[in-house]
């Protein structure tokens, strides 16, 4: 996330899913939901959503758009050890 903030690019997250036996709990979905409220973070819950985001990558809004947003985003992610 910090790398995305420093490079002014969007972030696409695809949390592993318990019901597909990819993980032992749904904690990644919870973390993804927390980040989904941030500008420039896109959550793909299916491979179709992932492919859609990748196909439209150049149209996605970046995580940050200026130096102030970059500093705030980095502070936010470092505080959460991300």
What sign does the CA torsion over 35, 80, 54, 70 have? positive
Q: Which residue has the higher pLDDT, 48 or 24?
A: 48
Average pLDDT on 24-48 reads 78
Can you give the pLDDT at residue 54? 96
pTM: 0.73
Report the C-alpha gap between 51 and 73 in whole angstroms. Answer: 26
Can you give the pLDDT at residue 79? 84
Question: Tens digits of per-residue pLDDT, 42-82?
Answer: 999 899 999 999 999 999 999 888 888 888 888 888 887 76
Report the C-alpha gap between 13 and 36 in whole angstroms. Answer: 9
Can you give the pLDDT at residue 43? 92
């Amino acid at each position: 996330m910090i790398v995305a903030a420093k490079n002014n690019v969007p972030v696409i997250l695809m949390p592993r899913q318990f019901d597909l036996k990819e993980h032992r709990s749904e904690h990644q979905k919870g973390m993804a939901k927390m980040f989904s409220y941030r500008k420039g973070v896109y959550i793909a819950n299916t491979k179709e959503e992932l492919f859609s985001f990748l196909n439209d990558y150049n149209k996605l809004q970046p995580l940050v758009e200026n130096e102030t947003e970059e500093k705030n985003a980095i502070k936010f992610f470092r505080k959460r050890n991300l």
